[in-house]
């Protein structure tokens, strides 16, 4: 493009030069050499016109040459304009497509990753209360009674009694259980130690050895299966002065056994009585509700069968064989709720096997005596 511009400029300069030269020639008087004949007037005019004609022809030729040069195609075969455009394409910035980069959302997602909840659940799990009531209702028990020999009849009458499920809370005991011969504490100054056994975990003999050494008597609540599988241990319990109570046949709570017909509870209880008498020749009037679950309907049946329902005034989470607490945890949890006259519930697992002699010594140091549930 630059070469074409220079070529056009040179042609224009040449044309202007010829025009200037022609003008200068027309204004000069030409001297003739001596001996030359003068031209006639018509010849002079003709010569003058010829000169001008030649000059104009040369100028036109130059101009045409410049025009042809301007219109000649460049090496790329594209005709170049005479003058540059007002705005050169090379200088005009290239317009980028209007695509915005991905931006972060203005606000955080509505849901957060699964972490801890911002607030505590509206309902607390069924656990022991954090603090102990100032006083517990006093529960007095009448003189020891024996199981009734009178069979329970007309089981349909119990269906009008509420079978609403209740779970025992020794921190806030249910006072109406006294009306159905239900107890969780007895004489002030005593501690009534009890242990529940649904199966043999392998620690009962060591516990019996400790109790014998310390001179402490315990009430063991056992299932029908435990009696039939551990007859020798049950006999040893009785021989060493302990008591044995009914803990149902298969550790089924009484609410399930009285849902449609109380006969299931009656049959379950009688099956235990037979197994116990066959093994030991004895009977028992003590009943421990499996899972600590009970109802007025179930307790009505057991009361009529001559049983005392023994709950508890102190316990702690010692029942998971695979997640046993430390001795320090046992002391901290159990002592928080322990009160004079309480029935204490323990399970014969690893921690209590080690904790039992410590517990006995510390309770005696506080002035408590150990007694059997009457």
Active site residue 242: no
Kindly give the pairing relationship between strand 166-167 and strand 308-310: unpaired
Of residues 33, 56, 35, 52, the one with CA closest to residue 44: 52
User: Which entry of 242, 247, 285, 347 is annotated as an active-site residue?
Assistant: 347
Rounded CA gap, 305 and 285, in Å?
9
Active site residue 347: yes
Q: What is the largest CA-CA distance in the chain?
A: 186
Q: Would you tell me the crossing angle of helices 204-214 and 231-239 to the nearest 10 degrees?
A: 10
Q: Would you tell me the crossing angle of helices 41-71 and 2-27 to the nearest 10 degrees?
A: 170
DSSP characters over 9-74: HHHHHHHHHHHHHHHHHHHSPPPPPTTPPPPPHHHHHHHHHHHHHHHHHHHHHHHHHHHHHHHSB-
Asked if residues 197 and 314 have their Cβ atoms less than 8 Å apart, the reply is: no
Rounded CA gap, 273 and 285, in Å?
10
Rounded CA gap, 252 and 238, in Å?
25
Asked if residues 305 and 266 have their Cβ atoms less than 8 Å apart, the reply is: yes
What's the gap between Cα 374 and its chain centre? Answer: 49
Rounded CA gap, 300 and 195, in Å?
24
User: Which entry of 196, 304, 318, 342 is annotated as an active-site residue?
Assistant: 196
* CA 319 vs CA 250, 316, 325: distances in Å: 17, 8, 10
DSSP characters over 264-310: HHHHHHHHHHHHHHHHHS----EE--GGGEE-HHHHHHHHHTT-EEE
Report the chain's terminal Cα–Cα distance, integer Å.
124
Residues with catalytic roles:
196, 347
């Amino acid at each position: 493009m630059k070469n074409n511009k220079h070529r056009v400029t040179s042609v224009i300069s040449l044309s202007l030069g010829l025009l200037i030269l022609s003008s200068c020639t027309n204004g000069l008087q030409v001297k003739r050499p001596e001996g030359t004949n003068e031209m006639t007037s018509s010849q002079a005019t003709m010569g003058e016109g010829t000169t001008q004609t030649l000059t104009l022809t040369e100028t036109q030729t130059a101009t045409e040459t410049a025009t042809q040069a301007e219109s000649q195609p460049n090496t790329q075969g594209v005709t170049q304009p005479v003058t540059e455009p007002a705005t050169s394409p090379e200088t005009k910035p290239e317009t980028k497509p209007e695509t915005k980069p991905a931006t972060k959302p203005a606000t955080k997602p509505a849901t957060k990753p699964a972490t801890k909840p911002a607030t505590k659940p509206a309902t607390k799990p069924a656990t022991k209360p954090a603090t102990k009531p100032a006083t517990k209702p006093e529960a007095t028990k009448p003189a020891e009674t024996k199981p009734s020999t009178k069979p329970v009849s007309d089981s349909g009458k119990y269906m009008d009694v509420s079978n609403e499920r209740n779970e025992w809370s020794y921190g806030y005991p249910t006072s109406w259980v006294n009306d159905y011969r239900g107890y969780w504490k007895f004489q002030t100054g005593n501690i009534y130690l009890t242990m529940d056994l649904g199966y043999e975990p392998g620690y009962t003999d060591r516990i019996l050895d400790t109790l014998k050494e310390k001179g402490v008597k315990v009430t063991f609540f056992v299932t029908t299966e435990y009696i039939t599988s551990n007859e020798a241990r049950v006999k040893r319990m009785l021989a060493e002065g302990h008591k044995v109570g009914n803990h149902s046949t298969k550790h089924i709570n009484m609410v399930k056994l009285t849902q449609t017909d109380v006969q299931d509870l009656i049959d379950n209880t009688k099956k235990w009585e037979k197994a116990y008498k066959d093994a030991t020749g004895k009977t028992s009037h003590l009943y421990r509700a499996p899972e600590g679950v009970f109802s007025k309907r179930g307790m009505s049946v057991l009361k009529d069968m001559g049983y005392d329902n023994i709950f508890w005034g102190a316990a702690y989470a010692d029942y998971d064989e695979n997640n046993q607490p430390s001795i320090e945890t046992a002391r901290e949890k159990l002592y928080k709720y322990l009160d004079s006259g309480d029935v204490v519930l323990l399970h014969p697992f690893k921690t209590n096997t080690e904790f039992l002699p410590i517990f006995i010594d510390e309770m005696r140091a506080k002035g408590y005596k150990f007694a059997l549930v009457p």
